[in-house]
Amino acid sequence: MPGVSRSPRLMSRRTTLAAALFGPLVGSACDSPFGDRPAGAPGKSPGSAEVDPTLSGDEAVVASVLAALDRSMAIVEAVTDRHPRLARTFAPLATMQAAHAAVLLEARVAEDRAPVQPPAVPPRASAAEAAARRAARSYERVLRESLMVAESGALARALAAMAAGVGQHLAVLDATGAPG
Amino acid sequence: MSALDALQTTLAAEHAAVFLYGLYGGRTSQSADPGLYAAVEAGYRAHRARRDQLRLAIADLGGEPVAAAATYEVPRNLVVATRIKRAALETERACQETYAAQVAQTVGGLRRWAATALAEAALQALAVGGRPEPFPGAPELG
């Protein structure tokens, strides 16, 4: 009598992610009934005009996601610095973003991580809170777009899991916070 | 594993989820716990819809959709709301891992479908008492 059987995990440890990302493809165009390959191309990644054009394929995807994550983290940090009472609200999101960063930093190839300009924070707490949620939503959008162009199945899976995690946190924030 | 194999695996998971959610619904009182009843009903509808979509997708690929099992392993002591929630959460987590695996094993529309299902299942997990996680469907990354 089976239950909902779990699919075998592609990676048993997070530390294998980098190898998995840039090793053989887990899924390939041959698998697609629509015959459509991932649309990844050198230096072309969703949501990032600033990604190093010398990076190719999944390297650029990781750099692009990391840039979006950095922007979102910077806004959350700036917002909670200016409005300390929001720190508790955004603590779970910040913890999740740190976990995402750890995974992405293991997978990146480029050593440079572009600095993020300190973002302007609205003086009103409700507006600042909304700005932080918008930034998280933007990060989620980049994740969703990036998973579609990832050539590595392992990378696509990781990005999909991250997007789902951001979606969960945003749902909780939307249910408890000011209108965003 | 081919895309077709991945879809068959996901379909098998959906068959189980539909069965289990039917069970959860039968053990949940709409009048006594309307919130849980609504969450269980939403889960049932979502998994049933995905099951039907997968059947069509597999047939479109020339495959024979896997049939449901005669019966499934039933969680014990589904007599109180907390146990039903916990069982539903476990069902969602198992499905999340299946959807995440399909993301890895497909491209294009099938990957997008799996990523959407993963995101929706993550929200459904919240509806049955789960808490936000950093990597729904890929817990080993955390």
Residues 6 or more apart in contact with residue A22 via CB below 8 angstroms:
A58, A59, A109, A152
A95 touches chain B (CB under 8 A): yes
How far is A44 from chain B, CA to nearest CA, in Å? Answer: 17
The pLDDT value recorded for residue A21 is 60
- In the numeric block, the tokens 């939307």 are attached to A174
The pLDDT value recorded for residue A9 is 58
Q: Could you give the number of structural domains in chain B?
A: 1
The pLDDT value recorded for residue A27 is 43
A-chain residue closest to B126, CA distance: A168
CB-CB: which of B104, B123, B132 is closest to A96? B132
CATH number, residue B47: 1.20.1260.10
- Quote ipTM for the complex: 0.96
B98 touches chain A (CB under 8 A): yes
Give CA–CA dist A61/A6, Å, rounded: 28
Q: Is A58 inside any structural domain?
A: yes
Q: Could you give the number of structural domains in chain A?
A: 1
Residues 6 or more apart in contact with residue B89 via CB below 8 angstroms:
B125, B128, B129, B130
Domain containing B77 equals 3-132
Dig out the tokens for B75 from the structure. Answer: 């969680």
Domain containing A166 equals 39-46+53-176
Q: Is B140 inside any structural domain?
A: no
Q: How many CB pairs under 8 A join A and B?
A: 177
Digit-coded pLDDT (tens) for B84-141 = 999 999 999 999 999 999 999 999 999 999 999 999 999 999 999 999 999 999 999 9
Q: Is A11 inside any structural domain?
A: no
Q: Which residue, A53, A63, A56, A173, is CA-closest to A113?
A: A63
Give CA–CA dist A130/A159, Å, rounded: 24
Top residue of A4, A97, A168 to mutate, by most chain B CBs within 10 Å, is A4
Contact B106 A144 (CB under 8 A): no
Digit-coded pLDDT (tens) for B50-83 = 999 999 999 999 999 999 999 899 888 898 999 9
- Range B40-59 average pLDDT: 98
Q: Is B139 inside any structural domain?
A: no
Q: Is A13 inside any structural domain?
A: no
A-chain residue closest to B131, CA distance: A168
CATH number, residue A135: 1.20.1260
Contact B20 A3 (CB under 8 A): yes
Q: Is A139 inside any structural domain?
A: yes
> Helix or strand or coil: residue A116?
coil
From chain B, the residues in CB contact with A61 under 8 A are: none
The pLDDT value recorded for residue A16 is 57
The pLDDT value recorded for residue A51 is 65
Q: Is B43 inside any structural domain?
A: yes
Per residue of chain A (180 residues), give pLDDT as tens.
Answer: 467 777 655 554 455 566 656 554 444 433 433 334 444 444 456 765 566 667 778 999 999 999 999 999 999 999 999 999 999 999 999 999 999 999 999 887 666 677 788 888 999 999 999 999 999 999 999 999 999 999 999 999 999 999 999 999 999 999 986 555
Residues 6 or more apart in contact with residue B4 via CB below 8 angstroms:
A33, B58, B61, B62, B63
Give CA–CA dist B18/B69, Å, rounded: 11
A60 touches chain B (CB under 8 A): no
Q: Is B108 inside any structural domain?
A: yes
Contact B138 A100 (CB under 8 A): no
Rounded to 5 degrees, φ, ψ at A41 are: -145, 155
Give CA–CA dist A103/A119, Å, rounded: 24
Give the up-direction half-sphere exposure of residue A89: CA atoms within 13 A in the CB hemisphere.
25
